[in-house]
């Protein structure tokens, strides 16, 4: 990844860090409400943690997270290919996928919130 793309990622990450707790993450084709919880740790590194509904215990939502490295990998493919796909995510980010397939749409939704991507088709976020 070149210096310009690295600088772009730094700007994107700075925007992600500024997203307030409680911000809803847009999810395509889903009525589930995911919202930002804050920052914590996942897979041994700092991560954006978000909540998804728990249908068994509504008062105790599930918490999932996306690390900065995972955001960076997703951003690199978004910039280099013009898209971030579920197939790429499943192949290249297996630990993130294993925590929950919803991490894919959360990455894409966060990129939508900061203006980097838009959902264009099933399993495809396109660079803006």
- How many Cβ atoms from other residues are within 10 Å of residue 55's Cβ? 8
Say if residue 1's pLDDT is above 50.
Answer: no
Q: Which domain holds residue 27?
A: 3-127
Residue 2's pLDDT is: 45
What pLDDT sits at residue 29?
Answer: 77
Q: Exposure pattern of 61-70 as b/e (b: 16+ CB <10 Å)?
A: beebbbbbeb
Over residues 35-60, the mean pLDDT reads: 95
The residue-averaged pLDDT of 47-73 equals 95
* Total domains, the chain: 1
Query: In 3D, which of 28, 126, 25, 16 has the Cα closest to residue 71?
Result: 16
Note the pLDDT tens digit of each residue in 80-93.
999 999 999 999 99
Residues 110-126 have pLDDT tens digits of: 999 999 999 999 999 99
| Tokens representing residue 13 in the block | 């990450």
């Amino acid at each position: 990844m070149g210096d310009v793309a690295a600088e772009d990622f730094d700007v994107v990450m700075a925007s992600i860090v500024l997203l307030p707790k409680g911000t809803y993450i847009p999810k395509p084709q889903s009525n589930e409400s995911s919202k930002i919880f804050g920052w914590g740790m996942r897979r041994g590194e700092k991560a954006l943690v978000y909540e998804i509904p728990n249908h068994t215990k509504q008062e105790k939502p599930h918490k999932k997270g996306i690390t900065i490295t995972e955001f960076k990998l997703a951003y690199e493919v978004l910039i280099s290919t013009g898209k971030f796909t579920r197939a790429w995510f499943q192949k290249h980010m297996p630990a993130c996928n294993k925590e929950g397939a919803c991490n894919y749409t959360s990455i894409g939704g966060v990129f939508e919130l900061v203006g980097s991507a838009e959902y264009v088709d099933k399993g495809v976020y396109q660079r803006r």
